[in-house]
Amino acid sequence: LAVSGQLVPQILSEGTGEELSQQIEAEKQKLVAKGQLKKQKVLPGIDQDEAPFMIPDSWKWVRLASVTDFSIGRTPSRGESTYWGEDYVPWVSIADLNAGGHVSKTKESISKTAYDKCFSSTVVPKGTLLYSFKLTIGKMSILDIDAVHNEAIASLRTYSDITTDFLLKALQAINPLSRTNEAIKGKTLNSGSLSLLEIPFPPLEEQMRIVQKTTQLLDLITKLEYQLEK
């Protein structure tokens, strides 16, 4: 209900998903001009026939990579002893992800040498949404620390904490293997197919109301489950 616009009412004064996506694109272009973001490939549009389900007129179908700063991690060579054994930067693996929750610590860290050579001294900032697209597909967590991560994880940095929380909720309700169009369907995901994933995108204030409502309802469900078990 939440991801199809049926959980909370639409409010005309809050604007539209189209307006919000345009604001995000303008912000991206500013970062590209400053050299702080690589120029993104043009992503294919989403035809009405391609849309997986109906959404309100004030919403917009967007590609996941169009509303996030989308990047893939890597694993420094295990054969290089200088890359490991020094707690310089936390390194996130799928095992560190707390499904639907937050990551505040990792089992392993990398050295400054590995950070400089393998990640070009670029850290994934706290507040970023991490998404596993290999092995345990769809496992997600929000970073509570600055870190780097492996190549089975995509970091989805948004332009608002509200959108990060909304994407976490929305992606939990979406089966990525059945949602991507016929040209990119498969039993596994890669960075290309994940970036093309269709996301229903409401205006920012509605995103906030959806997050608040789903959090409230899921907390209630947890309490009811506990009472039922008792």
Q: Tens of pLDDT along 123-157?
A: 999 999 999 988 788 899 999 999 999 999 999 99
Question: Is residue 37 within 8 Å of residue 69, measured between CB atoms?
Answer: yes
Residue 217 has which token pair?
Answer: 């309802």
Closest CA to 182 of 50, 85, 55: 50
- Which pLDDT score is estimated for 82? 95
**DSSP string for residues in 63-131:** EGGGSSEEEE-----TT-GGGEEEEEEEEE-GGG--TTEEE---SEEE-HHHHHHHSTT-PBPTTPEEE
Task: Work out the end-to-end distance of the chain between its first and last CA atoms, rounded to an integer number of angstroms.
Answer: 29
Q: Is the pLDDT of residue 172 over 80?
A: yes
Residue 57 has which token pair?
Answer: 């007129």
- Which pLDDT score is estimated for 192? 85
Question: Is residue 82 within 8 Å of residue 60, measured between CB atoms?
Answer: no
Q: Is the pLDDT of residue 40 over 90?
A: no
Q: What are residue 103's DSSP bridge partners?
A: 143
Question: Is residue 99 within 8 Å of residue 140, measured between CB atoms?
Answer: yes
- Which pLDDT score is estimated for 174? 80
Helix (H) or strand (E) holding 223: helix 204-229
Q: How far is CA 174 from the centre of its chain?
A: 12
In angstroms, the CA 117 to CA 94 distance is 22
Residue 99 has which token pair?
Answer: 């499904």
- Mean pLDDT, residues 34-47: 87
Q: Is the pLDDT of residue 181 over 70?
A: no
DSSP class of 36? S
The per-residue pLDDT for range 58-78, each reduced to its tens digit, is: 999 999 999 999 899 999 999
pTM equals 0.88
- Mean pLDDT, residues 182-211: 82
pLDDT class for 187, splitting at 50, 70, 90? low
Question: Is residue 177 within 8 Å of residue 189, measured between CB atoms?
Answer: yes
- Mean pLDDT, residues 22-46: 90
